[in-house]
Structure 1
């Protein structure tokens, strides 16, 4: 089974994190987001991975190379953002038999992907509370009879999980016309398959579509929770590591530091002295957490730095972000309502009672800055010393 992994999206909903790094390459625990998808496909028995890439394709190629997890890797370039079927069509020349399609910004359980491969033609499905926000499957006698995009009156609570196993003939059905949204939709190809075959559905107990910044936090919460304690870095004898904490070789944890797992401190990172890390926290390669800093349930990307006497909670910091000494992040509304965040110009609920800030690559705060809950700092944005920031910038 060939596995086509879609990794060409621009990730506009997860901005500013994807301003200069493809969304599928954003960090989730010990690897990029799309690498978890590729791992699930490899573990499920894929004999080739075909990565469909777009802008910043070199970042994906440099990470995966010609082989990943013992499986050969090839690449296809989607030149325009014209829908999922258009993305798969970019890989058409590589497809020579039955094939699977997986979204490179989704997290799947390998067991569910293996079931998808085995039962093909098939579609991955997940039960959701609000099916009208998704493509919804109609089923009968264990097979899929129809799929409707975001219906007002959903026939079931089975949502499309963005995972498909197609027969070889579907390669010739990729040249579908545009949908009402003006895009080439993979669900239109699926409709043809449903007409020709009995299509089963592989129900997924655990699944996540990582489209917005707080979902990157959720992805890290999932994958960091799977870690087992492994301490290979330089940890001071007076540091206190509690639970499942991973300190990679080349990382440094200084005296007085307390780390409550699950947490991952990557190679080249430094923590402390007297810092406190708790919750599901990723400290990326070369990242720095200074003296008496508290970091809770956050993602610090490669090269990010949080100066001494600072607090960062439920936040995502992009690459080479620098928070000056005394920077404090608010992550809770006084009215105890869910924190809102700006996505593509609209202020929407994150569904999270606690959510801090999202800082794009190379954003910088002056000392003693105060950042409001649900705040977005664009790539390269700055704050003044002592500034109270309540609006996106």
Structure 2
């Protein structure tokens, strides 16, 4: 059996602006969700696929110490080769694959997965591969699909399929009008021949002196090629694109708010995959409600009440009487006596003073629905005010005692002087 590979597209600093201020301190793909970096969950899913020998991370982040350390740790844990390939500029979801085609084809892989770094979910990769092999009658790629509502579908790539053969016959990325409730989940299994189709698109760009527009309205160069906008519509017209559906949990992580949604569902998934990661109630321990992850190095007072859907990172101090719900607490944060953290992210090394309240407003009314409105909600509403959202404390933020921080974003290294509501504190 020829080996398999996986490619994880991690983007770069020019992307992920909606993820600020959290991405100011750490590359977005390494932000911890349910106790582990976003793309750690991708690598763990890939490691379970028989015959998968290598994982390539493609992006244009500078190779920082955090990226190097992450790669070393994951290689040791999963006993699989992980390499980072840095683009010289943003090349798009297909451009990076084509640019590094020699590294991808090294070792003559039978097929390779492509995963967007900003998706999360219970990814059925082995099942996708089996489906692709069984039905790949000249098809170059199988994409993972899901069912959305009519309104939600406009935020994603939409497809129309031949139900008898599972071929995609029409594909539109983020259409302006309704096309289909079937959407693209950003996970693919590709035959090596897909590189010929990407090359054809690139030649077309060169022949036409092409200068397209990205999804955010910015101009893109000839070298920038998009799977979703340039390649998929062509594959669909040639009957070379298949779709495999998942009914499991899936979403994108575009904004900090959507990390809480992903955190909730990854914690729920741990019941099946890693029950040892979930904290249980016990004598002399904090009161745990629902699904909670606490790093072994965190210090949590027995009088605290935590959960549901909370992740607490390494070095965190949780003092007496603290209440935490639907939140992520990052490395070395300190929550002082009787403070309350609800629907919020508390940044690295931040301190929340005694009897203070840090709170966001949830806007996911149905915790069991498969998509998160938080990911596409604009920062401001039509009245120019912040939309109801989670509260985010950047790194090294000092919140004094007996104040309320509600629906606000606090940039790093701020000492708050009082209470704030619906504000961005610069």
Confirm whether residue 209 of structure 1 aligns to residue 252 of structure 2: yes
Counterpart-to-counterpart distance in 2, 1:61 and 1:238: 36
- After TM superposition, the score normalised by the length of structure 2 is 0.75
Q: How far off is 1:144 after superposition?
A: 0.9
Counterpart-to-counterpart distance in 2, 1:307 and 1:274: 12
Q: How far off is 1:50 after superposition?
A: 0.5
Divergent runs of 4+, >6 A: 339-345
Counterpart-to-counterpart distance in 1, 2:179 and 2:286: 55
8 Å contact kept, 1:106–1:208: yes
Aligned to 1:52: 58
Aligned to 1:135: 157
Counterpart-to-counterpart distance in 1, 2:314 and 2:379: 37
Aligned to 2:119: 106
8 Å contact kept, 1:342–1:376: no
Aligned to 2:146: 126
Partner secondary structure for residue 127 of structure 2: helix
Q: Which runs of 5+ in 2 are unaligned?
A: 133-140, 214-219, 364-372
Counterpart-to-counterpart distance in 1, 2:381 and 2:276: 39
CA pair 80-95 structure 1, distance change in 2 beyond 3 A: same
- Between Structure 1 and Structure 2, the one with more helix by share is 2
Counterpart-to-counterpart distance in 2, 1:213 and 1:101: 24
Q: How does 1:1-393 map to 2 (within 5 A)?
A: 1-10=4-13, 11-45=16-50, 46-58=52-64, 59-65=66-72, 67=75, 69-96=78-105, 97=109, 98-111=111-124, 113-120=125-132, 121-129=141-149, 130=151, 131-140=153-162, 141=164, 142-175=166-199, 176=202, 177=205, 180-181=212-213, 182=220, 183-187=224-228, 188-194=230-236, 198-205=240-247, 206-227=249-270, 228=275, 237=284, 239-278=286-325, 280-314=326-360, 331=361, 347=381, 355-373=389-407, 375-383=408-416, 385-388=417-420, 390-392=422-424, 393=426
RMSD: 3.3
Counterpart-to-counterpart distance in 2, 1:92 and 1:159: 27
CA pair 269-347 structure 1, distance change in 2 beyond 3 A: same
Q: How far off is 1:151 after superposition?
A: 2.3
Q: How far off is 1:149 after superposition?
A: 1.9
- Between Structure 1 and Structure 2, the one with more strand by share is 1
Q: How far off is 1:31 after superposition?
A: 0.6
8 Å contact kept, 1:340–1:348: no
- After TM superposition, the score normalised by the length of structure 1 is 0.81
Q: Deviations over 1:334-358 (max 9, x none)?
A: xxxxx99998875489xx9963322
Q: How far off is 1:173 after superposition?
A: 3.5
Q: How far off is 1:16 after superposition?
A: 1.6
Partner secondary structure for residue 113 of structure 2: strand
8 Å contact kept, 2:57–2:84: yes
Q: How far off is 1:56 after superposition?
A: 4.3
CA pair 277-71 structure 1, distance change in 2 beyond 3 A: same
Name the stretch that deviates more: 263-272 or 120-129.
Answer: 263-272
8 Å contact kept, 2:146–2:182: yes
8 Å contact kept, 1:245–1:263: yes
Partner secondary structure for residue 24 of structure 2: coil
Q: Deviations over 1:255-304 (max 9, x none)?
A: 422223443433322211121223x3333332222111122243334433
Counterpart-to-counterpart distance in 2, 1:49 and 1:8: 16
Aligned to 1:320: none
Q: How far off is 1:232 after superposition?
A: 8.5
CA pair 293-226 structure 1, distance change in 2 beyond 3 A: farther
Q: Deviations over 1:157-177 (max 9, x none)?
A: 111111122111122443423
Partner secondary structure for residue 89 of structure 1: helix
Counterpart-to-counterpart distance in 2, 1:230 and 1:103: 25
Q: Deviations over 1:57-111 (max 9, x none)?
A: 3222211227252221122112212421123234322111322211011013132
Counterpart-to-counterpart distance in 2, 1:137 and 1:342: 20
Q: Which runs of 5+ in 1 are unaligned?
A: 315-330, 334-338
